[in-house]
């Protein structure tokens, strides 16, 4: 199957790409520069351009950003996996830096598929737990989050803080995706015409941890956002602090499990088509993170906050629950354990910093 993967230089996309290649797909991935394409290409020296090729899309927010990517390759695409979206807090203008690329990147991609690539039958989007969680309810111990939940954030609230802006970017983009696809699905039912119609799967992961692909990383300073807490801990950022930093999010998933979900969605279209999945492996707090690093990576003990440091635990009032039964059942595999994910992440960060 021929797949367009957007944002191939990203942390999660690198693992999606790896599974796609391993499992026999033919992939074109979009990156923002030919230098980024060259680095990925160098990591797959034995894979030909028929299995791995690149399209440059400098800014997904631009009008018609994906037109060339969708029209310049043969054979035509049958599926699209859309991971590209800003996930960082280096933001001066929430609308321009977060909302526009997330929302216009998604709706522009969809319009471009309809216009240019009628052979695309399935689109998978990396959405986020940010589009599910209700941040205004805090730790909400009496609630269990499922795929039915939607973040109620408004445009006004999006502009009030950068974290709100990020969560809104994912919420509005995912809503726009479902709104775009639903009329198409209705039309397909009525006319029984398959023309210009694709099904949608969205994955909503919370904090994604896991090993980084070193070819995508020029420095640990450029590390993806979600792994930064692990980098900061092992680099000693909090060793002299009196407190372990508090969590912003208490649920997590391993990047390799999440990436495999994206690929399984293409391999199991009957289970995944037109489904939204909350993809979480379990709960964690930063105190547990510190203790795993202390236990499993003896040489890093001096970099960590002292064992007696307070903070970094679960909320005293209790924590919301998450229900991951839908994805576990539909896609059918067991989740990696937190200790293994943290250990593999630390190993990979150490490897990258030794290489650099
Ligand atoms: P990365 O920052 O590693 O990857 C983001 C990718 O999007 C990069 O390839 C980046 O390109 C590309 N991108 C961002 N903005 C633009 C733009 N305007 N034009 C073109 N390309 C752009 O983040 P992750 O891999 O962690 O995130 C991937 C997806 O997963 C995002 O949609 C994110 O919201 C979602 N997600 C991530 C979670 C996590 O914990 N990591 C949790 C939940 C959801 P470049 O690097 O060249 O800027």
Average confidence score pLDDT of the chain: 94
Confidence of residue 189 (pLDDT cuts 50, 70, 90): low
Domain 2-212+251-283+320-332: CATH superfamily is NAD(P)-binding Rossmann-like Domain (3.40.50.720)
Triad 224, 229, 234: Cα angle to 5°: 110
User: Is 60 exceeded by the pLDDT of residue 191?
Assistant: no
Where is average pLDDT lowest: 140-154, 195-209, 278-292, 299-313?
195-209
Determine contact, residues 82/10, Cβ cutoff 8 Å: no
Nearest atom (ligand 1) to Cα of 216? 46
What average pLDDT does the segment 135-160 reach?
96
Alpha carbons 73 and 213: distance in angstroms, whole number: 26
* Residue with CA closest to ligand 1 atom 36: 128
Query: Is residue 158 scored above 60 in pLDDT?
Result: yes
ipTM of this complex prediction, to 2 decimal places: 0.99
pLDDT tens per residue across span 244-266: 999 999 999 999 999 999 999 99
Mean pLDDT of 301-324: 95
* pLDDT band at residue 214 under the 50/70/90 scheme: confident
Distances (CA, A) of 25 to 5, 11, 96, 172: 11, 19, 34, 30
Helix or strand or coil: residue 26? strand
Q: How do residues 337-352 score in pLDDT, each as one tens digit?
A: 999 999 999 999 999 8
Task: Quote the tokens at residue 173.
Answer: 């983009």
Q: For ligand 1, say whether the CB of 84 is within 6 Å of any of its atoms.
A: yes
pLDDT of 196 strictly over 80: no
Task: Give me the percent of the chain exceeding a pLDDT of 70.
Answer: 96
Cα separation values, 215 from 59, 80, 82, 219, Å:
21, 23, 20, 10
Domain boundaries of the chain, sorted by first residue: 2-212+251-283+320-332
Residue in 54, 7, 20 with CA at minimum distance from that of residue 224: 7
69-78 pLDDT tens trace: 999 998 999 9
Q: Is the beta carbon of 223 within 6 A of some atom in ligand 1?
A: no
pLDDT of residue 186 exceeding 90, the answer is no
Q: What's the 316 CA to ligand 1 centre distance in angstroms?
A: 33
């Amino acid at each position: 199957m021929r797949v367009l993967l957007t944002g191939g230089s990203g942390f999660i996309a690198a693992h999606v790409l790896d599974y796609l290649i391993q499992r026999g797909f033919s992939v074109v991935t979009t990156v923002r520069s030919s230098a980024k394409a060259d680095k990925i290409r160098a990591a797959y020296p034995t894979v030909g351009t028929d299995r791995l090729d690149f399209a440059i899309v400098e800014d997904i927010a631009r009008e018609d950003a994906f037109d060339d990517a969708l029209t310049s390759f043969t054979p035509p695409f049958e599926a699209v996996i859309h991971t590209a979206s800003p996930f960082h807090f280096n933001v001066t203008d929430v609308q321009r830096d977060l909302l526009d690329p997330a929302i216009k990147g998604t709706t522009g991609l969809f319009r471009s598929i309809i216009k240019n690539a009628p052979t695309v039958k399935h689109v998978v989007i990396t959405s986020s737990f940010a589009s599910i969680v209700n941040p205004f309810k805090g730790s909400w111990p009496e609630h269990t989050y499922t795929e039915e939940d939607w973040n109620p954030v408004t445009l006004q609230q999006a502009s009030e803080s950068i974290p709100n802006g990020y969560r809104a970017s994912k919420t509005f983009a995912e809503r726009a995706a479902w709104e775009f696809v639903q009329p198409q699905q209705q039309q397909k039912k009525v006319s029984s015409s398959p023309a210009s119609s694709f099904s949608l799967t969205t994955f909503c992961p919370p904090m994604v941890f896991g090993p980084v692909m070193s070819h995508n990383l020029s420095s640990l300073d450029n590390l993806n956002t979600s792994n930064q807490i692990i980098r900061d801990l092992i680099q000693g950022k909090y060793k002299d602090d009196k407190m372990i930093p508090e969590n912003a999010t208490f649920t997590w998933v391993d990047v390799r499990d999440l990436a495999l979900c994206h690929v399984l969605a293409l391999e199991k279209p009957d289970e995944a088509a037109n489904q939204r999945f909350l993809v979480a492996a379990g709960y964690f707090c930063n105190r547990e993170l510190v203790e795993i690093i202390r236990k499993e990576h003896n040489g890093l003990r001096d970099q960590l906050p002292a064992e007696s440091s307070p903070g970094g635990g679960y909320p005293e009032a209790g924590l919301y629950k998450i229900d991951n039964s839908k994805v576990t059942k539909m896609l059918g595999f067991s989740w990696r354990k937190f200790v293994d994910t943290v250990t593999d992440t630390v190993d990979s960060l150490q490897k990258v910093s030794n290489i650099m």
